[in-house]
Amino acid sequence: MGLKIARQIRRLTQRQLALRSGVAESTISLIEGGKRAYTQVGYADVMRLARALGVDPELLFPVPANKTARSETPDKVTTR
């Protein structure tokens, strides 16, 4: 889903979400603008945002499909 969509569904501005969650408005803006990766967001902030929006934390920061773990991707097989 992503943070921005979850916030928009709740009809909150970034400022309102910041006030509800205790996470800085500038941090929310950076996350939504793609200038701060989900891996750079602290656990406490993720939990605050999820609680404020009433969603599962995993919905806020989905892992892109091409970022799967190495063990989940098959090795490339070459034949001659």
Please write the tens of the pLDDT for every residue from 21-37: 999 999 999 999 988 88
Q: Would you say residue 6 has pLDDT above 90?
A: yes
The conformation of residue 55, written as its DSSP 8-state character, comes to S
Ordered by where they begin, the domains of the chain are 3-62 (1.10.260.40)
Per-residue pLDDT tens digits for 54-65: 999 988 876 666
* Residue/partner pairs of 17-22 with CB below 8 Å, 24 or more apart: 17/49, 17/52, 17/53, 20/52, 21/45, 21/48, 21/49, 21/51, 21/52, 21/53, 22/48
pTM over 0.85: no
